[in-house]
Structure formats: C-alpha cells, structure tokens
Amino acid sequence: MTISSSLNAGVAGLNSSAIRLAAISDNIANSGTYGYKRVEADFESMILSQSGGAYSAGGVSASTQRLVDQRGALVTTANPTDLAVNGRGMLPVALLSDVNVSGSDAQMLLTTTGSFRIDAEGRLVTESGLVLLGWPANPDGTVPEFPRDTDDGLEPVRINVNQLDGEPTTRIDLGVNLPATETEAGATGASQHLSVQYFDNIGISRNLDFEFTPTVPGSGSSNEWTMVITDSAQAGAVIGEYTLTFADSRSSGGTLQAVAAVSGGAYDPATGAVIVNVDGGPMELSIGELGSNDGLTQLSDSFAPLSITKDGSPVGNMVSAEVDQNGYVHASFDTGITRIIYQVPLVDVPNPNGMVAMGHQTYMPSSESGSFFLWDAGDGPTGEVASFAREESATDIAGELTAMIQTQRAYSSNAKVIQTVDEMLQETTNIKR
C-alpha cells in the first residue's frame, strides 16, 4: 500500500506540473495580447486519513484561476477610439454576430481594452468583432437616466461620419456704441441699423434687425434711444421695442441708466438681458447691466458695433469622434462644434476573478463574481476611460520563465519518483523468485 501510494503521488505530481506548465505556456503565448489576464496555477496537498500503521501518500491536486483584477500597463496609440480602463471597471461590449441577430438584446460581455474602428454601419467594432455599447444621448447632448443594474438601456455606439447637425441660436450678446451727439438738440435724428445673423431650429440662417432711433429734444440732450427689433423669419415683424436711457454723470457717463419695455420681454437688471420670441422660440438678448460699459453704451459721435457674440452654429458634417475620461463620446463637426452622442459606462462586479472567461479577452458575470453595476466612469469604485490607449498583457515574461524552470524540475523529480517506485516493485518481484 505504501509503495503504491508513492506511485499515485508521483503520477498526481506529474499531472499537476503539466497543468501548471499549460498555464505558463498560455501566459507566455499571450505576452503580446492586449488585455490578456494571466492564469495562475495553485497546488493543494491531498491527505489520506491515517488510521495508524504505515504512512500513505495522498499526492497533490492543481487548480487554475484567471486573475482578471490584475492590470497591464497602458500604452499610447494614435487612434482616438483605442480605449482602455485606467483603474477598476470594464467596458461593455457585445459580439458583432450577436448584435446582427439580436440587436439591442445582444448579450453584454466585458473587456478592459479594445481597438475600435467604425464599420460600414457606423458602429465602433474591433477587428475581432466586439461592438462597443453605450447609452444614447438626447439631441441636446444630455444623457437621460438609465437603470444601472441591467444592460437593457445599452446599445451599439454608432458614429455616423456623414451625419449633418447644427445648433440653434438661443443667446446673443450685443456690444454696440450709440453716438451721443445724435440725442442733442438740432441733430438729424437719423436711425442706426444693425443686422445680426442667427440660426433657427433647423439650421437655416436668419437675421434679427435692430433699429436704434434717437430722441431729439428741443434743447439740451435727451440721452434716449428707441430700440426696435424685427425678425426676418417672421417677415420683418416687430418682436421687441425698448426705450433706452443713458447716464451722463461723471462717474457713469455713457452707460445704461434705464430700460423700459414697450413690447417684448421685460428687461432684467440682474442679468442685463431681455427675452424676445423669434420664430423658433424664446431668445435671450444681452444688452448690458445698468451702470456697466459692457453691452450698449452711448459715447462720442460714432455708431460702432464693438462686440457681437452668439451661440448656435450652421449645419455641419461630423468629421470625427472621441471618448473622454468620463466615458462621454463627443462628435466633432466641421463647423467647430462638438456634441455628446453617447455615454459609455464602466461595469464593475464585487469579484472580478469570479467571472467566466470568454473569447477575445472578454468576460461574463457569474454567480461567483456577484451582480454587476453600471457606473459613470471616474465615479464610485471605477477608474477612468483612457482614449488613444491600449492595455498590455498582464504577463511578466521573466516571472513566467522562472516558473517554467521550477515546473520542469518538479516534473523531472516526480518522474524520478515513479521510476524509483518501479525499480522497488521490480525488486519485490525478484524476491518471490
């Protein structure tokens, strides 16, 4: 019994060393595989119950575990949609074949890195067929609230490079100087005209026309103007009329003293703005706060549009897309504007090493990993999304080679045990003769 148990222990040792060598060979083979997580082999002794008498060898058993929580170093690339996770958390992806069949119901898989490129349908896909998943944003760039304990709201991220987009104008800041000499007695009373372009809700160029008419007194100076605003989108209809009074004191000469609304929205002295209704909806016009030289002023003898700024943009073509550290996918247009079109969350589980390893460096949550939760990148326990980056393999070649030498020696030693047992059994057989 003792000799045979020695033989069994030697065979178990050979088998365990073979398992460890298989793990080492897998790690070395994938030393250049982006996102690869190394496999570690652990040995456990097997003890047979002893009831006294001769000792019996129990041997050894081997088990393996993929260390998903170990991360490789990040390396910089030239592709803005090369993504990696800097810290805890994983990117949600799905198999392209599954997406083509199941659509948004495709099985969510997890990975820590991927080199995503735009395919024929505008989806971000890796060469191995992994589609990046994310939450779609609203047309205004805001991302609605989605459930965080399910992948129901996730869909393939689409980058339509030929997509057209524009932004309506919602605010105009006027910086205009009106000639003080036109409000003096004997002035001509000629009106001053200014046309400001804006973009409506469907990207069409429109104009707001401003007419500034001075009040000419019989004597002295009135320091008063009437501002009439018309909208070209409404066939030149008046959308606002205001009486502007300017100060002529030594400390605040030339600045707005009072604004009275004849029609249109009331003047807000706290913001220095009025609200008028263009054809597409309300628009904020900033004309300056009372006593401030920002906005409308009345100085000297010249009419001068000094500073006119506005938001909005004409219709433009999408030219590129990039993912920021918080997982927001920004689309850039040739008009210079950017817009958020998706948010890519980071998925976390309590025990990453308990996930089921799939192909292409992807993993699936299991009962051993615990339930997953979708976090905003950089929030909670998760790290940040790194663009222009890939995660290298977690394999340490030097460490694996050292372990391989140890495994080879252990295998040879176990083989020697079997050889010795065989010789002892042969001696026992010879005794009978």
126, pLDDT greater than 90 = yes
50, pLDDT greater than 80 = no
What is the rounded distance in angstroms from the CA atom of residue 84 to the CA atom of residue 168?
Answer: 35
What is the rounded distance in angstroms from the CA atom of residue 173 to the CA atom of residue 368?
Answer: 59
Of 195, 271, 199, 209, the residue nearest 240 (C-alpha): 209
C-alpha angle 409-414-415 in degrees, rounded to nearest 5: 95
Q: Please state, rounded to an integer, the average pLDDT across all residues of the chain.
A: 92
For residue 172, the model assigns a pLDDT of 97
Mean of pLDDT values over 271-297 = 96
Bigger pLDDT: 54 vs 366: 366
What is the rounded distance in angstroms from the CA atom of residue 311 to the CA atom of residue 314?
Answer: 10
163, pLDDT greater than 70 = no
pLDDT more than 70, % of the chain: 97
Of 423, 315, 388, the residue nearest 76 (C-alpha): 388
What is the rounded distance in angstroms from the CA atom of residue 66 to the CA atom of residue 358?
Answer: 11
Would you list the DSSP string of 192-210? Answer: EEEEEEEE-TTS-EEEEEE
C-alpha angle 129-131-135 in degrees, rounded to nearest 5: 175
**Positions of CATH 2.60.98.20 in the chain:** 169-311
For residue 166, the model assigns a pLDDT of 74
Q: What is the pLDDT of residues 314-335, one digit of tens each?
A: 888 888 899 999 999 998 888 7
For the domain made up of 169-311, give the CATH fold.
Tick-borne Encephalitis virus Glycoprotein; domain 1 (2.60.98)
pLDDT band, very low/low/confident/very high, at 103 (cuts 50, 70, 90): confident
For residue 275, the model assigns a pLDDT of 97
Of 1, 34, 79, 8, the residue nearest 388 (C-alpha): 79
Q: What is the pLDDT of residues 385-426, one digit of tens each?
A: 999 999 999 999 999 999 999 999 999 998 998 898 888 888
SS3 298: strand
Contact call for residues 256 and 246 (beta carbons, < 8 A): yes
| Burial group, residue 364, by CB count within 10 angstroms (0-12, 13-18, 19+) | middle
